[in-house]
Structure 1
Amino acid sequence: MSFFKTNDGVRLHYQFDGNYDQPVVVLLGGYTSMITTWTAQVDDFKQAGFRILRFEYRNHGQSEQTDKGLRISRLAMDLQNLLEYLHVEDFSLVGHSMGAMVASQYISLFGDRHVKALVTEDQTPKMLNEDGWQYGIADSSFKEISRIADDFSKTKLIRQTIDKELKQQVSAGYVPFNFKKNRPLMVDGIVQDWRDVVVNERIPHLFLAGSESPLYPFAHAQAANDLHKQADSAVYVFEGAGHIPHLEFYNEFNRIVIEFIKKAQ
């Protein structure tokens, strides 16, 4: 296992697969996930000529447990620390759920000059609904925010059956997740609004959604693309998928994402 220390002293687990001279794709998992969530992507992406970088956020998987920095902006800084540690300059970002938030926050903080392409998977840029924006998860009351944070662990995120072998690979080395301890991170993500980041991006962006997502109406992907207004961006909806298309329809996911990133290189 490989580890590095962030600039606030937290030890994080990462894995870098592929050849040194290949273009880098950073895979950013969702809330609670470990790097094994991307098991079904690694081989296909490597065969397509990419180097794959994954890491586990603080309090996730094999990374250090801590009470500090439980906010999306800190996770984006952790990503920057890792890229600097590994001397990675140019890369593409693929973010699922909270990983899409981390990608947006990264671009907000550090710009998109080194980002070749961005793929966000089933994540609206604003989770709370309001007048003029109905592509989120709940009304923007503190009561609803609290309910979402408290009920997340009970939400069934997938709509398709994951095959047995993949399920075993994804759960390998499972480390229990402390929902109570990480509640501040969940709440921080819920209240954010990254629509301004989407508007100001100048990179190809692929917006993905699951047609049967239990969290958001799949129209969030098109709504975000309408904000983006870049000719080289796109929307793709996985028919029948829940919140995790990269596990539910991994062959289709890999094909669509690899084609998009290759086109953007």
Structure 2
Amino acid sequence: MPRFVASDNTALHYYDEGAGRPVVLIAGYGAPADSWALQWAALRAAGHRVISFDRRWHGRSDQPAHGHRIARHGKDLHDLLAHLDLDDVTVVGASMGASTIWAYVSLFGCERLAGIVTVDQTPKMINNPGWPYGFYGLASDNLGTFFQHPNAVNTGHGRTWPEPAATDAAIRRAGGVGMSRLITPDTYPLLFDHACQDWRDTVAGITVPALIVAGADSQFWPSEHASATAMLSPLARAAVVPGAGHPAHLDQPDTVARLIVEFAAQAA
């Protein structure tokens, strides 16, 4: 299985299949690269080289004691693109994978990128009167303890979560090796750092096209975050996926694959 060594000597795993203009897929918190398996065939059929990236502590990548910050994950994405010498890349991030892309852009600009797709990730998770599109119930006064509560993700909003066994079976049928989710107390500092970020200024400064996708029935935040985010940049537009919760690429895999393929063709 292909791996490379990032600049801090952490070995990171990725899949690399197909040929053509590259699309790099980055999964969310706790999810492996295999969580994109339901999009692989459509992207390859559209003529793309498809790279699916396991962030540190995710999937088959190393689990170092250091680097539990979104900025480090952005640097890891930079190291991956440099390792593969990729240019003209469409990067696609779901949930925390989207924050990884914004961290990359914050550090390196839109170097090597042709376009950006984010899947159900608000750029600011903390709610306030000027931004009501954050994580349901999360505010500055409860940020320190919010995600320590075992039921924090059970917001009472959105659609029913996908059945894990059925999702795992679908991923295996599509050529992945299963979800193998990894969420442990070791990675809570990463989740906290993720929740603290405000990427709105980064979105406003992008120099390539961006597609901000929301699940219509997200369990974590209002779908209006997509249009509010897209309004920050003249190069961004929004799409809302009907019948999808937060893991839109699992709930409505064909729709998300189509959105990525159509966007990548327009960004060429």
TM-score (norm 1): 0.91
Distance (Å, rounded) in 2 between the aligned partners of 1:259 and 1:166 = 24
The answer to whether 1:26 aligns with 2:24 is yes
Shift of the 223–150 alpha-carbon distance from structure 1 to 2, 3 Å rule, reads: same
Any residues of structure 2 matched to 1:198-213 within 5 Å, and which? 198-213=203-218
| Amino acid of the structure 2 residue aligned with 1:52 | V
Aligned counterpart, 2:254: 251
List, as ranges, runs of 4+ consecutive aligned residues in structure 1 with deviation greater than 3 Å. 149-165, 167-171, 173-176
Aligned residues of 1:117 and 1:205 also touching (Cα < 8 A):
yes
Distance (Å, rounded) in 1 between the aligned partners of 2:179 and 2:138 = 34
Shift of the 149–191 alpha-carbon distance from structure 1 to 2, 3 Å rule, reads: farther
Which among 43, 46, 49 is matched to residue 45 of structure 1?
43
| Shift of residue 67, structure 1, vs aligned partner | 1.1
State the secondary structure of the residue aligned to 2:3.
strand
State the secondary structure of the residue aligned to 1:197.
helix
Shift of the 235–4 alpha-carbon distance from structure 1 to 2, 3 Å rule, reads: same
Structure 1 gaps, min length 5:
none
Structure 2 gaps, min length 5:
none
| Shift of residue 155, structure 1, vs aligned partner | 4.0
| Shift of residue 123, structure 1, vs aligned partner | 0.5
Q: How many pairs align?
A: 261
The answer to whether 1:71 aligns with 2:75 is no
Give RMSD over aligned pairs. 2.2
Aligned residues of 2:35 and 2:179 also touching (Cα < 8 A):
no
Aligned residues of 1:159 and 1:241 also touching (Cα < 8 A):
no
Aligned counterpart, 2:230: 225
Distance (Å, rounded) in 1 between the aligned partners of 2:86 and 2:114 = 13
Aligned residues of 2:35 and 2:178 also touching (Cα < 8 A):
no
Distance (Å, rounded) in 1 between the aligned partners of 2:194 and 2:52 = 20
Which among 240, 262, 265 is matched to residue 262 of structure 1?
265
Shift of the 61–169 alpha-carbon distance from structure 1 to 2, 3 Å rule, reads: farther
Distance (Å, rounded) in 1 between the aligned partners of 2:12 and 2:3 = 5
Aligned residues of 2:172 and 2:178 also touching (Cα < 8 A):
no
| Identity of matched residues, % | 34
Aligned residues of 1:149 and 1:186 also touching (Cα < 8 A):
no
Aligned counterpart, 1:112: 110
State the secondary structure of the residue aligned to 1:128.
coil
Distance (Å, rounded) in 2 between the aligned partners of 1:201 and 1:152 = 35
| Shift of residue 105, structure 1, vs aligned partner | 0.7
| Shift of residue 153, structure 1, vs aligned partner | 8.0
Distance (Å, rounded) in 2 between the aligned partners of 1:217 and 1:199 = 20
Shift of the 167–27 alpha-carbon distance from structure 1 to 2, 3 Å rule, reads: closer
Aligned residues of 1:72 and 1:102 also touching (Cα < 8 A):
yes
State the secondary structure of the residue aligned to 1:106.
helix
| Shift of residue 217, structure 1, vs aligned partner | 0.3
| Shift of residue 245, structure 1, vs aligned partner | 1.1
Aligned counterpart, 2:147: 148
Distance (Å, rounded) in 2 between the aligned partners of 1:68 and 1:52 = 28
Shift of the 52–149 alpha-carbon distance from structure 1 to 2, 3 Å rule, reads: farther
Any residues of structure 2 matched to 1:54-93 within 5 Å, and which? 54-93=52-91
| Shift of residue 55, structure 1, vs aligned partner | 1.4
Shift of the 208–178 alpha-carbon distance from structure 1 to 2, 3 Å rule, reads: closer
Distance (Å, rounded) in 2 between the aligned partners of 1:56 and 1:142 = 33
Aligned residues of 1:210 and 1:243 also touching (Cα < 8 A):
yes
Distance (Å, rounded) in 1 between the aligned partners of 2:204 and 2:193 = 21
Shift of the 36–155 alpha-carbon distance from structure 1 to 2, 3 Å rule, reads: farther
Distance (Å, rounded) in 1 between the aligned partners of 2:190 and 2:173 = 26
